[in-house]
Amino acid sequence: MIRLPFSGQAARRQPKPADNGAAVETQLSAGAQADAARNRGDWQSAATFYRRAIADSPARTDLLVQLGHAEKELGNYDRAETAYRKYQGLHPRNVDIHVQLGHLFNRRGDLKAAFIWYEKALQLAPDDREIARHVNIARNGSSRPGLDQSRRDAMRLVAENKWSQARAALRALVVDNGQTDMIAVFANVTKEDGDFDAALKLYGQYRDYANAFNPDSLEDVEVQLGHLHKIAGDYRTALTHYIRARNHQFKRSGYVDATSSHEREIQACISEIYTCFSA
């Protein structure tokens, strides 16, 4: 199953795992366990623990945003919307939550709703060029007949793992209709469809897009390239990309999570490259 890019928040510093890491983790607060699950890409566990943390600490309204992110990554868009809207209701002038709601509806393929939320965010932060760019993309897309539905149809095909059909639909959106914000999905689906050479070129375009508009996605660019090369059996190149992803994680959050998916992938590649160390 592909992993779509997401808009993460800087994670809080976690304690280093002890030798009895599993036992120590069970003693952590629900919020700490949720953050740890999020950092290793375990969205199901993250959502479960964020719900528990919210029940334990209702004053921690920021946890609603993290719950929304986790539910979005799981494809539970209605639940994500509920969490985001609860936070937005409590913090009506928070710019980022309006952007996150725009991203959510954008992910769902509903450009009209995405445009409304992006525009509200721009009203709160009129000088923010990145938000203005999202407004323009959503406005242009929502004003073109059938494009909104085409995005929803493409995402439905992705959710159903119909890779060839999804790839054709995404090509029409990205190449023919200029929906460059969907380049990551297009690249991932192309990889899942088995066309590694084409996927490699698309990931290069994904990196260009991330550098220009969404630096937080550079971590995911490297992860996806790592996955691509690992599938192709090139573990040395895959290792390089996973290390770069870990470096981006450190730059973003200020620490390296030893239990993260990046670290697991690095160790797996090392085991494949240096088989003499295998038991």
Per-residue pLDDT, 11: 36
pLDDT score recorded for residue 10: 34
> With 80 as the cut, is the pLDDT of residue 253 above it?
no
List helix spans (H) across the chain: 21-27, 30-39, 43-56, 62-73, 77-90, 95-108, 111-124, 129-142, 147-159, 163-171, 183-192, 196-213, 218-231, 235-253, 261-273
Range from 58-72, 108-122, 211-225 that averages highest in pLDDT: 58-72
pTM of the model: 0.62
Contact 226, 245 (CB under 8 A): yes
Q: Which of 106, 165, 93 is closest to 137 using CA atoms?
A: 106
Q: How confident is the model at residue 95 (pLDDT cuts 50, 70, 90)?
A: very high
pLDDT for the residue numbered 18: 40
> Rounded to an integer, what is the distance from CA 155 to the centroid of its chain?
15
pLDDT confidence bin for 27, thresholds 50/70/90: low
What is the CA 216 to chain-centroid distance, rounded? Answer: 9
Q: What's the pLDDT at 22?
A: 42
Task: Give the end-to-end CA distance of the chain in Å, rounded to a whole number.
Answer: 30
pLDDT for the residue 270: 94
